[in-house]
Amino acid sequence: MRIIRTTLALTALVAGATACGSDNPGPNQAGDVGIGFRLAQSSSSSNLMAGFTAEDGTPVTVAAATAEPTPLGFLISRDDDELLVTKAQIVIKNVKLKRTSASCDDDDDDDRGSNRRDDGCPTMHVGPYLVDMAVTGVDGGRLSGDLPGGSYSAGRFDIHKVTSSRSDDLAFRQAHPDFRDISVRLEGTYNGTPFTFVSDVNAKLDVPLPEPLAIGGDIDNITVTIDVGSWFVNTSGGLYSPALANTPGLIRARVDNNIRFAFKAFRDKNRDGRKD
């Protein structure tokens, strides 16, 4: 399956880039960077979302779903439909930050398991890595690593389909047999009926930063939010059934496309899910 490069909108990763880490970090001063993942919350279904198309292909703006953690799971509701997510997992690979002015065009072979050094886009984690997102709203899996000091203008990582044949996926397949030939897995109920939803989305995500991120000194944390509430939005009203989205066709194609554009990130120094 062809990897699709997607440029994502970024809410805000840096509020005063020179304030992160230590004051005035030197160009060669390494710094610790942590990246956490969590489900994005929305408190009002009156919020509008662009980027959707009607069944005739016309661009439309639609009302967002309400998405919030509950004691039973992550509840997504829109019109008369309710989708309760009790487990949310996604496989990522090749987590990087891109240096300002670096092109990193030569790293497209990373999906074939390359683990070579790239000074322009240093790698935090190769993977594949299973992100098991907490349905209570807190961080899911958090990666951390030392990166060379300096200025970074973008983040990169892949949504990775775990294949049955690739040798570099073998250990992951053995540890997580439910992820053979898929990259995303949700469990829960749709209007009270249990479901398991899987997707084989394979996408290289390129996340530009609105301002350069200065690394050096103290730990810098980034939170990546995943807007699961947008995945199943039906432009005609309500939510698509995840069971229907498991079947190849228009609904599945729409949900897969929504997954690719559901990622945003921001600097989160205190790891509290709030932009600094």
pLDDT digits (tens, 9 = 90+) for 177-214: 999 899 999 999 999 999 999 999 999 987 766 667 77
Dig out the tokens for 126 from the structure.
């190769």
Q: What is the 3-state secondary structure (H, E, C) of 46-58?
A: CCEEEEEECCCCC
The secondary structure of residue 90, as a DSSP letter, is: E
What is the identity of the amino acid at 236?
S
What pLDDT, on the 0 to 100 scale, is given for residue 176? 92
Residue at 258 is within a domain = yes
pLDDT at 55 over 90: no
Give percent of the chain with pLDDT exceeding 90. Answer: 37
pLDDT at 223 over 50: yes
What pLDDT, on the 0 to 100 scale, is given for residue 118? 61
Residue at 160 is within a domain = yes
Summarised one tens digit per residue, pLDDT across range 74-132 is 999 999 999 999 999 999 999 887 787 777 665 544 444 444 456 678 887 788 999 99
Summarised one tens digit per residue, pLDDT across range 134-148 is 898 666 667 777 778
Residue at 274 is within a domain = no
What pLDDT, on the 0 to 100 scale, is given for residue 43? 57
Q: What is the Cα–Cα distance from 225 to 8, expressed in whole angstroms?
A: 12
Summarised one tens digit per residue, pLDDT across range 206-219 is 776 666 777 765 66
| String of DSSP letters for 142-203 | EEEEEE-SEEEEEEEEEE----SS-GGGHHHHHH-GGGTT-SEEEEEEETTEEEEEEE---E
What pLDDT, on the 0 to 100 scale, is given for residue 209? 65
Residue at 63 is within a domain = yes
Q: Residue 72's domain spans which residues?
A: 4-267
Residue at 276 is within a domain = no
Q: Tally the domains of the chain.
A: 1
What is the identity of the amino acid at 267?
R
Dig out the tokens for 255 from the structure.
């949900």
pLDDT band at 22 (very low <50, low <70, confident <90, very high): very low
What pLDDT, on the 0 to 100 scale, is given for residue 120? 77
Long-range contacts of 44-50 (CB under 8 A, 24+ apart): 45/77, 45/78, 49/230, 49/233
pLDDT at 51 over 50: yes
- Note the pTM of the prediction, 2 decimals: 0.78
Residue at 273 is within a domain = no
Summarised one tens digit per residue, pLDDT across range 27-45 is 457 777 777 788 988 855 4
What pLDDT, on the 0 to 100 scale, is given for residue 144? 77
Which range has highest mean pLDDT (2-6, 134-138, 202-206, 254-258)? Answer: 254-258
Residue at 10 is within a domain = yes
Residue at 206 is within a domain = yes
Q: What contacts 189, CB < 8 A, 6 or more positions away?
A: 83, 84, 86, 195
